[in-house]
Amino acid sequence: MLKTSLNGPNLPDSFLFGVATAAYQIEGSADVDGRGPSIWDDFSHTDGKVVNNDTGDIACDHYRLWRSDLDLIKSLNVDAYRFSFSWSRVLPDGRGNVNEKGMAFYDRLIDGCLERGLQPFATLYHWDLPLALYETGGWTERGTAEAFANYAELMTSRFGDRLASITTFNEPWCSSILSYLYGVHAPGKKDLSLALKTVHNQHLGHGMAVQRIKSVNPALSTGIVLNLQSVYAGSDTQEDKQARGRHEIFHNGIFMEPLFQGNYPSEFIDVLGHELPQAWQEDLTIINQPLDFWGLNYYTPSRVINEASSNAKYPRTKEAPMDDTVTRTDIGWEVSADSFYDLLINIYDRYKLPACYITENGACYNNEPVNGEVEDTERLQYIKEHIEAVAKACENNIPVLGYFAWSLMDNFEWAEGYTMRFGLVHVDYETQQRTIKQSGHWYSQLAASHRKQTI
């Protein structure tokens, strides 16, 4: 087994280690105690949308097994647990009547974290929009942003005094571009106009929510989580280099610039500004809220080439062919810790940003137990290399506050169903037995070693 110490620079003394999950991926109990349906309930129950037609109806049964799951997290020696609220569990229709049984579940979960010495890092939106809101237009309508702000105020009022931090959105790129343009995630649309209206209305919802959170609890550490791409040109040709720039604008810039600079990239506006909601300019001051931190989720680099087809739409790029010698995870993603370091350096060079957490990082390897043990050396090596990249960035004055491994345990992996496993802990979905993997034991030792060194 690899040593627990890092090669090279040390992490800051105050650096946090944590694990992360999301409500729909682990909770199950989809129709229990008054929970309303979300777009992911509807999507996963639509034939052919998810591998094997898997659903989150049961998932990891965390709604019932939360106590033992928190004990499991505690046994990993981490400092913090990042989880998400299910909007439709607390507000079955997305607005209006509050479901007290749903609120009580999160009371128990948060208190359970605190009792075990775990800092609770909560996310308001990890893609599971209440179905009732989708049926009235969802994120393509401004009213959903207003409903989200009301939801944020409700949750802050109830739980804010016990949370270490609150995040508005997890990866809005996924719940807009991946969901409304590429059709891979719920609600499965392929419409550029709807996608860009969703981008803007989620930005607006974020800004409104931050205002509400701070009006209720100004001291609560508040941020947003983005899955930025580290983008490389697939060749040295001028066409591919220009394609790289367009790709970065479309997949990073239209998120970073409104949130942190109060504007959209000018090239994007010139080409696609007409697709944004009317009077979008008036929303920019609301969108551009000061944040206490931001979160970066990172897994793999993006390598692109120019899309020369005459009917290609902006950003007119496509994925570059990948050499067969490239190391990939079981989901097919390239492994490149150097690209992670590059992104951290480049993003802080380009933007004036608050400190960040690495809110998700991890790898898919589908190892199964053998004699009660899961040997996943490739995942262990992936995590080790990426934490070393973080340490190197910290040494170069990038303010990274902590690292959350994705994921605590194997779970419902969205459109991939239960076929892909990212967990530090293996889950047998038939028996719900949890087995800490080799990588989980290593991560536990690393977290304990770091804490011991800083005492």
Asked whether 200 and 283 are in contact (CB, 8 A), the reply is: yes
Distance CA 387, CA 58 (A): 32
Query: Domain limits of the chain?
Result: 16-454
For 13, the token pair is 């003394």
Which residue reads 């989620």 in tokens?
A: 202
pLDDT, residue 1, reads: 31
Pairing outcome for strands 231-233 and 294-297: unpaired
Structure tokens at 189: 């649309």
pLDDT of residue 148: 99
| R_g over Cα of the chain | 21
Catalytic residue status for 141:
no
* Cβ-proximal residues to 423 (8 Å cutoff; 6+ apart), any chain: 407, 408, 409, 410, 411, 437, 440
Spatial contact of 222 and 208, defined as CB atoms under 8 Å apart? no
CA distance 204 to 226: 15
The reported pLDDT for the residue numbered 452 is: 83
Task: Determine the pLDDT at residue 84.
Answer: 99
The residue among 395, 341, 379 whose CA lies nearest residue 15 is 395
Which CATH fold topology does 16-454 show? TIM Barrel (3.20.20)
- The model's pTM: 0.97
Nearest to 158 by CA among 96, 82, 221, 107: 107
| 356-361 vs 294-297, strand pairing mode | parallel
The reported pLDDT for the residue numbered 193 is: 98
- Helices marked H in 76-191 — which ranges? 87-90, 100-115, 131-134, 142-159
Of the residues 27, 257, 360, 413, only one is catalytic, namely 360
Q: Is the dihedral of CA 233, 237, 239, 242 positive or negative?
A: positive
* β-pairing verdict for 80-84 and 16-20: parallel
pLDDT on residue 455:
64
The answer to whether 205 touches 145, Cβ cutoff 8 Å, is yes
Q: Which residue has the tokens 């981490």?
A: 78
Indicate if 360 belongs to the active site: yes
Q: Which of 171, 248, 378, 388 is catalytic?
A: 171
- pLDDT for 3 equals 36
Give 10-residue mean pLDDT values along the chain (455 residues): 47 96 99 98 98 98 99 98 99 98 98 98 99 98 98 99 98 98 98 98 99 98 98 98 98 98 98 98 98 98 96 96 94 98 98 98 98 98 98 97 98 98 98 98 96 76
**How many other C-beta atoms are found inside a 10 Å radius of the C-beta of residue 309?**
9
Instruction: Provide the residue type at 85 as one letter.
Output: F
